[in-house]
A and B are shown apart, each in its own frame.
Chain A
Amino acid sequence: MADYEWLSEVRSMVGREYGRIYAWDEVNPAMVRQWCEVMGVDNPLYTDPDYAATTEFGEIVAPPAMLQAWCLEGLHMNNYPPGSTDENPYEVLGLIEAQGYPAVVAVNSELTFDRYVRMGEKLYYTTLIKEVSEEKTTALGTGFFVTQVMSFFSEKPEGDEKVGELLFRVIKFKPAQQPKPVEKSESAVPKIKRPRPGISDDTRFFWEGCEAGELRIQHCKSCNRLQHPPAPVCSHCQSFELDYQISKGKGELYSFVVMHYPEVPPFEYPNPIGLIQLDEGVRIPAGLTGINPADLEIGQRVEVEFQTFDDELTLPLFRPASA
């Protein structure tokens, strides 16, 4: 694809080096210990002087992966230590954005280590604009990959010494018309479960029945009536003498809704919900399954179907009754 005219200014920045950004603090054991604690790193080489003394280093060293952390500005943005450059190594992104590429996503962050960093060393880094790609179209949208290389140095009287490098690549882009959700692996993202019901001593039999594949309806031993939802007393005669009967799980649709908005995970939409009048005479609300929501009709025959969600919650749903 031919370049846009405005890109020549952007391209002229490739190869440019930006000045030093210094670390606020010398490499020190306190920050190392805190970083290890936060990151869950338990290698004693970083935190235990006695152990470190037995290694080839003879003393604790900083975790290599902590390299970038030494030169971060801290809590307040762009608050770099005195002597750091005033130049903005990200100005190239501003130029691209100004042409209508508002979004940014980091796509690569590759650290290379030349050696371990030791306590007391004073670090800084410089930034090189390494590459601006052709215009590319990805699932996210259309834009430019911009690659920067941050080189990290340790200040030495005999001449500064390079200790590592960070290759950092972003895509600066116009989002696609309908951005697709970023694919997330099952393991990385905790699965959102269905809300679990509050279960009390008055209602436990119902939920245990679901696990046993039984639709249990509370029954009053005093007046012989059924009631749902279950309660500690009969709402007709206030008797505490209650047990349950097992419903045949058949009934008719007394009313229903089809939920569209808001779409709340983990539910699928449209989500049809029925109010079922069981043949035994009580009503029960439940999700509907195995039916096109457009075909729902008050009065239609339905039957229970127990489904287990998240390996832990069994619910009575209702489906159109078999003939």
Chain B
Amino acid sequence: MNDNISNKAAIVGLGATEFSKNSGRTELRLAMEATLAALEDAGIDPSEVDGFSSYSVDKVPEYEIARLLGCKEVKFFSQIPHGGGAACAPIMHAAMAVATGVAKTVVVYRAMNERSWYRFGTGSYGFADTPIFENVNYGWYMPHGFHTPAAWVGMFAQRYMHTYVATSEDFGRVAVAVRDFAATNPNAFFYEKPITLEDHQNSRWICEPLHLLDCCQESDGAVALVITSADRAKDLKQKPVMIKAGSQGIADGQQIMTSYYREDITGLPEMGVVARELYRQSGLTPDDIQTAVIYDHFTPFVLPQLEEFGFAKRGEAKDFIRAGHHARGGRLPINTHGGQLGEAYIHGMNGVAEGVRQVRGSSVNQVDDVENVLVTAGTGVPTSGLILSAS
């Protein structure tokens, strides 16, 4: 199989800061702390790094990290657009760079003081009335006050509920299961704070049909990974986590959070693109996946993701969830770190980190006999996904 990147590169280092509501230090410092921790974890000297990849909204430039690491020859760097939708893509880009010999040691990083410096849910993003594309595009929404990610997702969710007779409780069951994992993860913001379905139903409306407990947190923090070739990985400190498959996805009628003009808005066809490509590269099927990190910025989009990846038939994710297959002890426990609902919102990179831990066997909520982990990135936007494997 030479026509893909499967098993040519591995994640060999993992580092992170603590996750908080106010890190109290610069994003650059967070990036350096996570990067140095990841290199230490890998047993690789900082000066060996010759590639970087991150994704947009991250304000820390790779050249500054390179300078501070003492890198002298950096041959590959990329920053992938569309925020959380890109969360898995830097690992894919790094694997491509390593697989083709362009780079040998790539650092993937994410460092943001999202909660203390930005806040994505304010409804105010600085769009103006000049004719650049973004202003024109968001001009269909902003003048109506239709201006938060929760609202944009809610529009899809309402139609999904209507079409498949899913309910707010189904979304709630996602939140309850994920918070259950967070409750046993000391690194989670909601450690020892599980919720009940009743808590979910009683939580206030953010934007009908979304309750507060359907929405992820806002967080400060950083995560970094080190990727190198499968060959080199064999001789390093950690058990290699093979990059089995990686893909990005844009599908028909794609927009950023507002792909409302497609014939059907109950699916996530861009995630369908990712799913087909991941299965093609890896040769795996849904039955080969033991646990998954399903991007959970807002609970409603977890359901169509399960459908796009074939864990449930179209419109039947609610039955999968009602049966508890996504929860602790279920057929496909998802977001065992507590997800972005429960651990932290590090724009999906903390989910990739959990995928690494599940393959290594070091998760605090370790699933038995993990061979392959699916990780997905942000939904409603151009997206990405990974399969990480033990071999």
Contact = CB atoms under 8 A, between A and B. Distances in A.
Contacts of B158: 255-257, 298
Interface string B130-150: 111111111111111111100
Interface stretch (B96-104, B116-124, B194-202, B338-346): B116-124
A285 B140 contact: yes
Given A267-B145, A315-B143, A197 B205 contact: no
Given A267-B145, A273-B151, A199 B206 contact: no
A195 interface: yes
Given A261-B207, A262-B122, A264-B123, A198 B136 contact: yes
Nearest to A274: B155
A273 to B, nearest CB: 4
Contacts of B121: 262
B129 A271 contact: no
Contact count band on A: 35 or more
Contacts of A261: 204-207
A262 B145 CA distance: 11
Contacts, number: 126
Contacts of B290: none
Contacts of A229: 137, 140, 261
B159 interface: yes
Contact count band on B: 35 or more
A160 interface: no
A7 interface: no
A275 B260 contact: yes
B156 interface: yes
Contacts of A298: 158-159, 162
Contacts of A264: 122-124, 145, 147
Nearest to A259: B207
Given A198-B129, A260-B208, A285 B141 contact: yes
A258 B168 CA distance: 14
Contacts of A262: 121-123, 148
Contact of A197 (B139, B145, B162): B139
A257 B208 contact: yes
A200 interface: yes
A282 B261 CA distance: 7
B144 A287 contact: yes
Interface string B249-277: 00000000010110001000000000000
Contacts of B146: 257, 259, 273, 285, 287
A18 interface: no
B210 to A, nearest CB: 8
A132 to B, nearest CB: 40
Nearest to A258: B208
B151 A203 contact: no
B63 to A, nearest CB: 32
A170 interface: no
Nearest to A316: B144
Contacts of B164: none
Interface in A259-311: 259-262, 264, 267, 270-271, 273, 275, 282-287, 293, 298, 309
Contact of B143 (A197, A203, A270, A271): A197
Contacts of A271: 145
Interface centre among A195, A199, A298, A315 (most CB of B within 10 A): A195
Contacts of B145: 194, 259, 264, 267, 271, 273, 287
Contacts of B127: 195, 198
A194 B151 contact: no
A228 B135 CA distance: 16
A283 B159 contact: no
Contact of B142 (A195, A202, A256, A309): A195
A36 interface: no
A313 interface: yes
A196 B129 contact: yes
A203 B139 contact: yes
B154 interface: yes
Nearest to A198: B135
A194 B145 CA distance: 8
B209 A199 contact: no
Contacts of B148: 259, 262
B135 A273 contact: no
B68 interface: no
Contacts of A202: 136
B103 to A, nearest CB: 37
Given A194-B145, A195-B142, A258-B208, A200 B136 contact: yes
Given A198-B130, A264-B147, A255 B140 contact: no
B128 interface: yes
A260 B289 CA distance: 39
A264 B143 CA distance: 12
Contacts of B208: 257-258, 260, 270, 293
A223 B378 CA distance: 35
A200 B123 CA distance: 22
A87 interface: no
Interface in B232-260: 258, 260
A315 B140 CA distance: 10
A217 to B, nearest CB: 12
Contacts of A227: 261
A285 B155 contact: yes
A298 B144 CA distance: 19
B114 to A, nearest CB: 16
B167 to A, nearest CB: 14
Nearest to B215: A261
Contacts of B134: 198
Interface centre among B137, B146, B156 (most CB of A within 10 A): B146
A254 interface: yes
14 contacts: A198-B127, A198-B129, A198-B135, A200-B131, A203-B136, A255-B155, A258-B205, A259-B145, A260-B207, A264-B123, A275-B260, A282-B261, A287-B144, A298-B162
Given A257-B154, A260-B206, 10 more contacts: A198-B129, A198-B134, A199-B139, A260-B207, A264-B124, A264-B147, A273-B151, A285-B146, A287-B146, A315-B144
**The 5 residue pairs across chains A and B that have the minimum distance between CB atoms:** A198-B135, A197-B139, A267-B145, A200-B131, A257-B154
Interface of B: 121-124, 127-148, 151, 154-156, 158-159, 162, 204-209, 258, 260-261, 265
